[in-house]
């Protein structure tokens, strides 16, 4: 008989939050783990992905979590990938809010300064990937001496990704009296090392996948020529509404996704080299149906729950039987049907046969028969141009557009007339050059009369400037300038060459060039007070360690 969460000893606020989400009865893994977890025992759980183990370890963590202090969380949850860490936070955050507990996720690819500021304010539950957490510990911005509950999710995946040394260094900094929960698809090998080293007389729970949760999944291995693998894959993918394609390398993942997009498939890529924003956007587009194909490395093989995936395609063979099982587990979830197809090229036959042997299935390959697959899915193509309204003919619409353009030109002409720059005769650019030349000649005469100096000084440079039509020298480079006060730049000898009063042109009351000083001049803003740097604080202490 299935027990409710209240029967397991879960607090009333968490039970109410679970009821709002439609969860009233515990899953088998939850029923086995929650009661012992609330009692403070070390637990070791073996459960497949999608069995509800996130709530199994999350509910005891939330109910037992105390209020954290700056830099020192009370509960630590380690996850191998960014996607899994985000999924854990999204699932536990409503329950934590019911108990007035805070959750923070930290992982690579995001702004570490925001993580530091958030830790400084204090966090109760920290969900972290090992790499970013070690970086924060090295900066003395996170301390684990107050951790009372440590949880390691997907421990076998941690070992496969090479995170096991980091996990050991992190767990070594937690106190001995804390209790630890460990969950993994397998409990042997490197995972057994973690169990023996960091757990004290743990209770082990193994929950097999229920028969009603195993969908009807058909596995096929097709031998495809190397030069036609992409075209064959596209022909297959057109027959399914949603599919995940697994590639071995990150570069191959991008190449395959771009090729699919060129051939008319809405495909997005997700792998370790993409930023967190790009990964989240790709996963969001795929789950919402905006993208029909998700091309991924093994980073998406675990920890990502996407419903209604009809097809999993192994574009490159999996590295091991475990990877093949986790890849294929993205389809046929919650009792739905699915299809798994392996595209085997000539030079990968030996690897594929060894993989079949490890999986315990009959070795051999089939020839691809598109007629045996489902029919091509009819997807509507978005139209770029909006069709004209039925009550307004196209000619009338174009006439209205031309009328609006004429009105804009009239307003611009009137505005130019007010500024004393009519749009008749010579072009504005030509008039502007003439005014600048006249102003320079007038300034030369005034300077000669006032200072008695020769008017031919630097005339060669000015003639070159007039011929080129800009303020540059013949070589196309600005003359050497010297810095004078703040970030203002002035040419050499500016005190002698320009009058002290800033001259004004006839256009809009603005000066002809950079301000040369005088009572009407305005000092230029420096880099810290203008543009996108106005809100930026000084970077002098950025990235430095926190003091002891």
Query: Which of 115-129, 261-275, 322-336 is predicted least confidently?
Result: 322-336
Q: Please tell me the predicted confidence (pLDDT) of residue 304.
A: 66
Q: Is there a single domain that holds both residue 192 and residue 272? A: no
Does residue 451 form part of some domain? no
* Residue finishing a domain among 372, 392, 423: 372
* 492, part of any domain: no
In a domain, 221, yes or no: yes
Decide if pLDDT at 386 tops 50. Answer: no
Cβ–Cβ under 8 Å, residues 62 and 93 = no
Task: At 219, list the tokens.
Answer: 């596995």
pLDDT averaged over the chain?
76
CA gap 436, 476 in Å, rounded: 20
**Averaged pLDDT, 416-430:** 50
- Summarize the confidence of residues 340-353 as an average pLDDT: 92
In a domain, 32, yes or no: yes
231 and 333 share one domain? yes
Q: For residue 385, tell me if it sits in a domain.
A: no
Task: Give pLDDT tens digits for 183-233.
Answer: 987 787 788 889 999 999 899 888 765 433 445 788 999 999 989 999 999
Same structural domain, 190 and 220: no
Specify whether 218 is located in the same domain as 235.
Answer: yes
- What is the residue whose two structure tokens read 């040394």? 165
Whether 12 has a pLDDT exceeding 80, the answer reads yes
Handedness of CA 332, 337, 342, 343 (dihedral sign): negative
Distance of CA 128 to the CA centre of its chain: 16
Determine the pLDDT at residue 306.
74
Quickly state the pLDDT bin for 343 (edges 50, 70, 90): very high
Domain boundary residue, one of 159, 175, 209: 209
pLDDT at res. 362: 86
Together in a domain, 244 and 344: yes
| Same-domain status, 40 and 187 | yes
Do residues 169 and 24 both lie within one domain?
yes
Residues 365 and 335 placed together within one structural domain of the fold: yes
Same domain, 246 and 325: yes
User: Which residue, chain included where needed, has tokens 């489902």?
Assistant: 374
Are residues 249 and 151 part of one domain? no
Select the more confidently predicted residue: 400 or 151: 151
Are 83 and 234 in contact by the 8 Å Cβ rule? The answer is no
Do 241 and 133 belong to one domain? no
- Contact predicate 278/284, CB 8 Å: no
- Number of structural domains found in the chain: 2
Picking from 319, 339, 372, the residue at the C-terminal end of a domain is 372
What is the average pLDDT across 327-351? 84
Whether residue 323 is contained in a domain is answered as yes
Residues 6+ apart with CB under 8 A from 446: 499
Same-domain pairing of 47 and 178: yes
Kindly state the tokens that stand for 149: 């509950």
**511: pLDDT strictly greater than 70:** no
Share of the chain above pLDDT 90, in %: 39
Output b/e per residue, 129-156; b: 16+ Cβ within 10 A.
Answer: bbebbbebbeeebbbbebbbbbbbbbbb
Partners of 419 in the β-ladder: none
Domain with 17 in it: 12-209
| Residue 539 confidence (pLDDT) | 55
- Asked if residue 425 belongs to a domain, the reply is no
Supply the CATH number for residue 18's domain.
Answer: 3.40.50.300
Distance CA 101, CA 98 (A): 8
The pLDDT of residue 372 is: 87
* Domain annotation covers residue 530: no
For residue 538, pLDDT beyond 90: no
């Amino acid at each position: 008989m299935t027990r409710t969460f209240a029967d397991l000893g879960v607090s009333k606020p968490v039970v109410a939050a679970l009821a709002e989400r439609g969860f009233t009865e515990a899953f088998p893994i939850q029923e086995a783990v929650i009661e012992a977890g609330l009692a403070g025992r070390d637990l070791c759980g073996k459960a497949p992905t999608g069995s509800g183990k996130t709530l199994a370890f999350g509910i005891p963590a939330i109910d037992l979590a105390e209020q954290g202090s700056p830099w020192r969380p009370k509960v630590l949850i380690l996850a191998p990938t960014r996607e899994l860490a985000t999924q854990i936070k999204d699932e536990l955050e409503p329950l934590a809010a019911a108990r007035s507990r805070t959750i923070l996720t930290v992982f690579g690819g995001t702004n570490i300064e925001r993580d530091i500021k958030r830790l400084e304010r204090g966090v109760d539950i920290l969900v972290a990937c090992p790499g970013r957490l070690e970086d924060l510990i090295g900066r003395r911005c996170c301390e684990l001496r107050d951790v009372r509950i440590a949880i390691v999710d997907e421990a076998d995946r941690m070992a496969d990704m090479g995170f096991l040394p980091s996990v050991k260094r992190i767990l070594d900094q937690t106190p001995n009296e804390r209790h630890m929960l460990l969950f993994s698809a397998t409990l042997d090998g490197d995972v057994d090392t973690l169990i023996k080293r960091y757990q004290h007389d743990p209770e082990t729970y193994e929950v097999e996948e229920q028969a009603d949760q195993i969908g009807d999944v058909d596995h096929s291995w097709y031998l495809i020529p190397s030069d036609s693998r992409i075209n064959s894959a596209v022909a297959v993918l057109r027959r399914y509404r949603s599919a995940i394609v697994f590639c071995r390398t990150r570069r191959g993942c991008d190449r395959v996704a771009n090729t699919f997009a060129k051939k008319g498939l809405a495909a997005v890529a997700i792998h370790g080299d993409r930023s967190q924003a790009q990964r989240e956007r790709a996963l969001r587009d795929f789950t919402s149906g905006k993208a029909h194909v998700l091309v991924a490395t093994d980073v998406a093989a675990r920890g990502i729950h996407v419903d209604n995936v009809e097809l999993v395609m192994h574009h490159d063979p999996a590295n091991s039987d475990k990877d093949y099982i986790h890849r294929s587990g993205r389809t046929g979830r919650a009792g739905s049907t699915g299809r798994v197809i392996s595209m085997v090229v000539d030079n990968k036959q030996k690897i594929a046969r060894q993989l079949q042997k490890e999986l315990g299935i009959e070795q051999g390959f089939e020839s691809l028969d598109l007629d045996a697959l489902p029919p091509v899915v009819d997807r509507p193509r978005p139209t770029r141009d909006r069709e004209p309204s039925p009550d307004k003919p196209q000619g009338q619409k174009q006439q209205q557009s031309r009328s609006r353009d004429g009105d804009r030109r009239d307003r611009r002409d009137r505005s130019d007339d007010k500024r004393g720059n009519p749009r008749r005769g010579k072009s504005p650019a030509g008039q502007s050059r003439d005014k600048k030349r006249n102003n320079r000649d007038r300034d030369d005469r005034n300077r000669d009369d006032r200072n008695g100096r020769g008017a031919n000084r630097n005339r060669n440079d000015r003639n070159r400037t007039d011929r080129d039509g800009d303020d540059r020298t013949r070589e196309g480079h600005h003359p050497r300038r010297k810095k004078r006060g703040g970030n203002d730049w002035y040419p050499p000898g500016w005190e002698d060459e320009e009058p002290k009063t800033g001259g004004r042109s006839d256009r809009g009351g603005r000066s002809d060039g950079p301000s040369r000083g005088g009572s009407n001049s305005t000092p230029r803003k420096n880099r810290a007070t203008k543009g996108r740097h106005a809100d930026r604080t000084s970077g002098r202490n950025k990235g430095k360690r926190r003091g002891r």
